[in-house]
């Protein structure tokens, strides 16, 4: 296991220039779900799939900018129920393994033999699930803000751990739920997010989403918190997250992704994690790196969770540059 702490004073490169898709697709993946897919960069380049977080967050335009567009064929998609995929905030036929199957459907539809995956937060979880299921289809893995949906990880952010570091923001999240239900905040929110009252669903969704938005970066970002509270975004984000969390990610057993990390042995990998990540503590990245010693673990000493943190950007871009030379 190679571990490197990035020097905060070292020169840091930023994102590649903004770009637009050269092609978009609507792919019907079930009788219910249709997903949005886009391709950017070099149509004849090395394929890469960007795997967004949440679950339920959707892919943003800056996700197109972590790879050299002259070298890479960059594929983005909105997972079931979120972003530009439809129907919005839908929980039926929405599991980890449905999404893994969707990724395979995209690969087949686009005529791609193997591709690199870059995923952060929930995107790292889904990328791991895909790579451990289809290792022969993965040419490289770049993972950020590692999240494997173990019970201890969920309890840290949604029950008690992060509350010690952001008590004022957590109080709003906690106090939305009556005292008699606060022993299981995920379950209490899930009941409201899946209930019959649309006003309660939206109110719960906004509080859930804005709590997460408040904890993403090392420094406060009020604009991000407000954006997380937008109704269309918040409903999909909170409903789908709580759906996955009460179902333990739909995994067969606790800790499955780290237990099965030996399947990643032939895949070149880079793990990037902020030292002060409140959403997904660095311990999870360390646990994954111990189980997958062939990967390189890069710890950014002055970063939180967000993909946009300068040190995170620098490490992710450096990783995609190193991998293209392979």
* Strand-pair partners of 41: 73
The pLDDT value recorded for residue 12 is 87
**89 CB burial (10 A radius; 0-12, 13-18, 19+):** buried
Catalytic annotation present for 121: yes
Q: What's the pTM value of the predicted model, to 2 decimals?
A: 0.96
Which helix (H) or strand (E) is 38 found in, with range?
Answer: strand 34-41
Q: Which two tokens mark 252?
A: 């067969």
Instruction: Give pLDDT tens digits for 273-297.
Output: 999 999 999 999 999 999 999 999 9
- Residue of 102, 260, 277, 287 marked active site: 277
- Residue of 52, 102, 121, 260 marked active site: 121
Q: Go through the domains of the chain in sequence order and give each one's CATH number.
A: 2-150+251-324 (3.40.50.1820), 151-248 (no CATH)
The pLDDT value recorded for residue 36 is 98
- Measure the CA–CA gap between 65 and 55, rounded to whole angstroms: 21
Q: Taking the CA atoms of the chain, what radius of gyration do you get in angstroms?
A: 19
The pLDDT value recorded for residue 5 is 63
Q: Can you list the residues of the chain whose pLDDT is less than 70?
A: 1-10, 325-326
Phi, psi of 191 (to 5 degrees): -60, -40
The pLDDT value recorded for residue 322 is 96
Instruction: Give pLDDT tens digits for 89-124.
Output: 999 999 999 999 999 999 999 999 999 999 999 999
What DSSP assignment string belongs to 134-151?
-GGGEEEEEEES-----H
Residue 188: CA count within 13 A, CB half-sphere? 17
């Amino acid at each position: 296991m190679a571990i490197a702490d990035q020097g905060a004073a070292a020169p840091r490169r930023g994102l590649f220039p903004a770009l637009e898709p050269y092609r978009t697709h609507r792919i019907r993946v079930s009788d219910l779900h249709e997903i949005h897919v886009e391709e950017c960069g070099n149509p004849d380049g090395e394929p890469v799939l960007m795997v967004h977080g949440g679950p339920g967050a959707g892919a943003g335009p800056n996700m197109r900018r972590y790879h050299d567009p002259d070298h890479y064929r960059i594929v983005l998609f909105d997972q079931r129920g979120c972003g530009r995929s439809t129907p919005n905030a839908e929980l039926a036929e929405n599991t980890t393994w449905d999404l893994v199957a969707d990724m395979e459907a995209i690969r087949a539809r686009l005529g791609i033999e193997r591709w690199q995956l870059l995923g952060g937060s929930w995107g790292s979880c889904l990328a791991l699930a895909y790579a451990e299921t289809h290792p022969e289809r993965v040419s490289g893995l770049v993972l950020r803000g590692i999240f494997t949906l173990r019970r201890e990880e969920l309890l840290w952010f949604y029950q008690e751990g992060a509350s010690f570091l952001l008590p004022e923001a957590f109080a709003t999240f906690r106090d939305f739920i009556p005292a008699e239900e606060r022993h299981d905040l995920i379950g209490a929110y899930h009941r409201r997010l899946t209930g019959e009252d649309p006003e309660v669903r939206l109110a719960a969704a906004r509080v859930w989403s804005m709590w997460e938005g408040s904890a993403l970066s090392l420094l406060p970002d009020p604009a991000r918190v407000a954006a997380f509270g937008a109704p269309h975004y918040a409903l999909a984000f909170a409903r789908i997250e709580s759906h996955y969390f009460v179902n333990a990610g739909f995994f067969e057993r606790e800790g499955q992704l780290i237990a099965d990390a030996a399947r990643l042995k032939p895949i070149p990998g880079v793990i990037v994690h902020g030292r002060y990540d409140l959403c997904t503590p660095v311990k999870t990245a360390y646990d994954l790196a111990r189980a997958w010693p062939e990967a390189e673990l890069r710890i950014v000493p002055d970063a939180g969770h967000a993909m946009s943190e300068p040190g995170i950007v620098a490490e992710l871009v450096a990783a995609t540059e190193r991998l293209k030379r392979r």
